Amino acid sequence: MHDLIPFLAILAAIALGAASPGPSFVYVARTAIALSRPDGVAAALGMGIGGITFAALALLGLQAVLAQVGWLYAGLKLAGGLYLLLLAFRLWRSAGNAAVLPRGIGQRSPGLRRSFLLGLATQLSNPKTAVAYASIFAALLPPAPPLWMILALPPLILLIETSWYTVVALVFSAERPRAAYLRSKRWIDRLAASVIGLLGLRLLVAAGRSG
């Protein structure tokens, strides 16, 4: 029973972190609105795979490595910032293009793999998420965690991350949000690009300070 309390605390902290606004939220919401519900869910799965990747690295002691090798953490911030800026640039540049949406919300999009990979890349582009996972484990994981906890955490983290972003995809792919997007596509895309770009700039500034 004493191991169950830190276990539940870890899951709660990860759920709160997943729900906090960031580039992952913006990307999934925009994908669900602009493309299709299946694309949004594919992006959500990419976020979940990215989350379980960070969790595995955290369990392997990534925080200790980054603390000892400062240039590596700065390099990860730099790479993540540049990726977010590239994503923002592409989104801004295509803001004026006409939207081509599937006829039906449930219709399969030809770009599901691309939506998944971009979702995964967006999640992995933020090394602060990796450090957040490592910090949660460092603070809440018992010094000698039982085997069941080590085995249970990765699939549950995958479930939490994927479920939250799937909810985001389902909400933003409804008819009213999609209709509102079609009416104001240029400005919505540019707003999303601005948010993602600012988050990318923050990573670049942080990389410069820690470099």
pLDDT score at 67: 56
pTM, to two decimals:
0.69
Domain residues for the domain of 54 are 4-210
Per-residue pLDDT tens for 88-102?
Answer: 787 787 766 655 544
7 neighbors 173 (Cβ within 8 angstroms): no
pLDDT score at 108: 47
pLDDT score at 160: 93
pLDDT score at 103: 42
Runs of H (alpha helix) within 20-36:
23-34
pLDDT score at 105: 42
Counting as low any pLDDT under 70, the low residues of the chain are: 1, 21, 61-73, 76, 80, 95-110, 127-128, 131, 138, 143, 182, 207, 210-211
Domain total in the chain: 1
